[in-house]
């Protein structure tokens, strides 16, 4: 098995993808809107990915957050709100906001489970900061660490009720970035004392089974390398200070925050301490070079992968979906 998650190019696998995936056995796959038409097509695609991998619980990831970041779109699937709405409700009724967040995540999870997806890259535990770039913006759960952790816990619980694994992101925190990591490399000059605010939700939810890194330089910790590529940040901050011992994905390797060929980026993020490199775009030449350059997954990373997926049992029915959405909307109306 190779320590990489691959995207695919289109709505169905082509023969070259089938051959590469069978021969190389990537750790998992990630889907985007370009891969999705409707329920039947999506289920057929995920079933084929499972068959190729030979693993019933192979990680099949998606970024189905709601709001701006939505891969499975209306009218085929329900529209899910941005998470800032739950933050707004928390101002008036914290318990209601937590229950609304749990119900929303449970509903999202049911739509994923129906289509054979096993992992949602959610929740964001990035503590929102005034004046930061809006790449996070209304995707965030709030400006206050305790609130972010409480709502984040509800999201993980709701996904789990549908049999879906959640991924806490973007560890150790994306809330201070002044530029979009898709376009450039952010540098955060905050002190280690100030950054305690950013890591607090991740500490609270450090028992989560999966996390995703931030392509951000934190000068207080490592002025030369972004967190994704920094053994210092991964070992001393993510693994030690935060205490996260689950499966660590890099963020998307295609982002312009990173330099070099994506295949070299994959090698470098694994060398830095990420368990899995995330190559999202389904470009065959890049995937072949990545497979050639990456060593097999380490025993430690394979154990983390197996532990994270051990109890994933996607829900067999969406019968509760309408009731969960109605409950969420009733609670959000309180704001």
Of 136-140, 186-190, 242-246, 254-258, minimum mean pLDDT range: 254-258
Q: Which domain holds residue 40?
A: 2-332
Q: State pLDDT tens for residues 215-238.
A: 999 999 999 999 999 999 999 999
Q: Is position 198 annotated as part of the catalytic site?
A: no
**3-state helix/strand/coil string of the chain:** CEEEEEECCCCCCCHHHHHHHHHHCEEEEEECHHHCCCHHHHHHHHHHHHHHHCCCCCCEEECCCECCECCCCCCCCCCCCCCHHHHHHHHHCHHHHHHHHHHHHHHHHHHHHHCCCCEECCCECCCCCCCCCCCCHHHCCCCCHHHHHHHHHHHHHHHHHCCCEECEEEECCCCCCCCCCCCCCCEECCCHHHHHHHHHHHHHCCCCCEEEECCCEECCCCCCCCHHHCHHHHHHHHHHHCCCCCEEEEEECCCCCCCCCHHHHHHHHHHHCCCEEEECCCCHHHHHHHHHHCCCCCHHHHHHHHHHHCCCCCCCCCCCHHHHHHHHHHHHCCC
Q: State pLDDT tens for residues 60-102.
A: 999 999 999 999 999 999 999 999 999 999 999 999 999 999 9
pTM: 0.96
Predicted confidence (pLDDT) at residue 173 exceeds the cutoff of 80: yes
Predicted confidence (pLDDT) at residue 134 exceeds the cutoff of 90: no
Q: Is position 251 annotated as part of the catalytic site?
A: yes
When divided into structural domains, the chain yields a total of 1
- Mean pLDDT over 26-48 rounds to 98
Q: Which of 182, 285, 295, 322 is catalytic?
A: 182
Q: Which of 63, 120, 222, 251 is catalytic?
A: 251
- Mean pLDDT over 147-159 rounds to 98
Domain holding 78: CATH number? 3.20.20.300
Of 123-137, 200-214, 223-237, 319-333, minimum mean pLDDT range: 123-137
Predicted confidence (pLDDT) at residue 53 exceeds the cutoff of 80: yes
């Amino acid at each position: 098995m190779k320590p990489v998650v691959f995207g695919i190019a289109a709505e169905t696998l082509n023969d070259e993808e089938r051959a590469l995936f069978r021969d190389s056995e990537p750790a998992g796959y990630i889907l985007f809107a370009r891969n999705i038409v409707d329920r039947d097509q999506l289920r057929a695609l995920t079933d084929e990915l499972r068959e190729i991998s030979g693993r019933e619980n192979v990680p099949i990831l998606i970024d189905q957050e709601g709001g701006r970041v939505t891969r499975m779109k209306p009218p085929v699937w329900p529209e899910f709100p941005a998470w800032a709405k739950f933050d707004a409700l928390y101002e008036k009724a914290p318990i209601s906001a937590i229950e609304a967040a749990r119900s929303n995540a449970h509903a999202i999870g049911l739509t994923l489970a129906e289509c054979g997806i096993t992992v949602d890259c959610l929740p964001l535990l990035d503590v929102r900061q005034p004046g930061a770039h809006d790449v996070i913006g209304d995707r965030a759960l709030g400006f206050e660490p305790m609130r972010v952790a409480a709502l984040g816990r509800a999201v993980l619980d709701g996904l789990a009720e549908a049999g879906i694994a959640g991924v806490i992101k973007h560890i150790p925190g994306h809330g201070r970035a002044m530029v979009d990591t898709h376009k450039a490399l952010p540098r955060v000059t905050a002190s280690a004392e100030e950054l305690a605010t950013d890591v607090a939700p991740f500490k609270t939810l450090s028992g989560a089974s999966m996390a995703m890194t931030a392509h951000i330089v934190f000068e207080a910790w490592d002025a030369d390398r972004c967190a994704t590529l920094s053994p210092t940040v991964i070992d001393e901050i993510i693994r030690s200070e935060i205490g996260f011992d689950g499966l660590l994905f890099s963020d998307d390797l295609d982002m312009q925050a990173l330099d070099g060929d994506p295949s070299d980026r994959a090698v470098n993020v694994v060398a830095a301490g990420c368990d899995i490199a995330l190559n999202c775009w389904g470009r065959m030449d890049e995937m072949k070079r990545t497979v050639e350059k990456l060593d097999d997954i380490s025993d430690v990373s394979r154990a983390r992968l197996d532990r994270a997926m051990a109890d994933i049992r996607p829900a067999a029915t969406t019968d509760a979906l309408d009731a969960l959405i109605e409950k969420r909307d009733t609670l959000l109306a309180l704001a």
